[in-house]
Chains A and B, each alone.
Chain A
Amino acid sequence: MKRNNVEIMVGVFLVLGFFSFAWLAMQLGEVPWLTGSSTYKVFADFDNISGVKAGAEVQIAGVTVGSVINLSLNEYDQARAELQINKSIKLPKDTIASVKSQGIIGDKLIQLTIGGDEEFYTAGEVIFDTESSVDLESLISKFAFGSVK
């Protein structure tokens, strides 16, 4: 009888240990459908997003508030960036997403300029107002070689 009690205790301990391990894994791994994610996803369409890679930062006033998780093409053959944004950040409907670079030759990032609209973008919506990467080479060629007159 005594031996049985010990075995039950060990069993309970083992099961508890297993559950705590599973809980820890879920907390660290951020399983959205179990724990409720701390981020949400929005999309942004650009004419040209060259230089931005998956993993690039999303910033507001220089502060990182999320990252680019995927790049694809939309139905108009534009670049569609999937942005993962911290849940604490609310984006009004007149937010402008621009492709910027850190310094002159630094990494490309997405900069959000927040507006003042009363409505906010919800998860899965597409940011309409965007500015694409400025193609420096074509700008230089336009103004350096453009005018013949």
Chain B
Amino acid sequence: MHIKKYCIFIMTVLAFWTLGLQGGATAAPDPTEQMKPFLDNIITQLKSEEFQNDTTCNQCNRIVELASEHFDFREMSKRVMGKQWKHLTPQQQDQFTELFTKLLQYAYIGQVNEYVDKKIEFTGQRIKGNRAEVKTKLMDENKEIPVSYIMILKGDNWMTYDIIVEGVSLVRNYREQIFSVLREEQFAGLITLLEKKIANLEAGNDEG
């Protein structure tokens, strides 16, 4: 009778232990392994003739659609906004996220063609808790540009919230600019400014 009890106890412990092990193994996916196919897919799409012949507006939307798989534009907007984010209503947060995403897509669409021919080399990664950095190098015959993707783990996906090019952070760059606009012109002023800038970029008479 006792032996049976012991057996049940040992088997329960073993069952929990193996479950725990499996849980541990699946808990943190590898950020580089997630980024590789993601970036490859984007580059292939950008190279396709269908994309090259499309209108700028469609190109922009396509890129954002592709990027949102591993780019968290809301997290990016939150970090760019800083302290002010908490004081915004959810509607204002959505409005800012939408405008900021648009600003990024129009500001960088002109440069997309420059990146299509470059090779991406993954040079390392570091993980700390739920955050990770994947380091890459954009290379062509005569230039090497270090680009790091800073990511946060959301569910099973590593989502990029900052890009560091040549040691300069995109979030910090915009955070400082937006801080000064907010100080002088408040949120309404910032929205007007962003809308104006996007309209200019859309019209194609502003280089970024």
Stretch at the interface among B2-10, B80-88, B194-202: B80-88
Is B62's beta carbon under 8 Å from chain A?
no
Q: Cβ of B142 and Cβ of A139 under 8 Å apart?
A: no
The dominant DSSP class at the A interface is: loop
Is B171's beta carbon under 8 Å from chain A?
yes
Given known contacts A98-B169, A128-B131, A76 and B83 CB-to-CB distance under 8 angstroms: no
The dominant DSSP class at the B interface is: mixed
Interface size class of B (residues with CB under 8 A): 20 to 34
Q: Find the A residue at minimum CB distance from B84.
A: A116
Give every chain A residue within 8 A of B150 (Cβ-Cβ): 128-129
Chain A residues close to B by CB (< 8 Å) = 45, 47-48, 76, 78, 94, 96, 98, 113-116, 118, 126, 128-129, 131-135, 139, 142, 146-148
Show 28 A/B contacts (Cβ-Cβ < 8 Å), sorted by A.
A47-B167, A48-B167, A78-B126, A94-B78, A94-B79, A98-B169, A98-B172, A113-B172, A113-B176, A114-B82, A114-B83, A115-B82, A116-B78, A116-B79, A116-B81, A116-B82, A116-B83, A116-B84, A116-B85, A118-B86, A128-B150, A129-B169, A129-B171, A131-B164, A134-B167, A135-B167, A142-B145, A146-B143
Given pairs A126-B128, A129-B171, 17 additional interface contacts (CB within 8 A): A76-B124, A78-B126, A94-B79, A96-B171, A98-B172, A113-B175, A113-B176, A115-B79, A116-B81, A116-B83, A116-B85, A128-B128, A128-B131, A128-B133, A134-B166, A135-B167, A148-B142
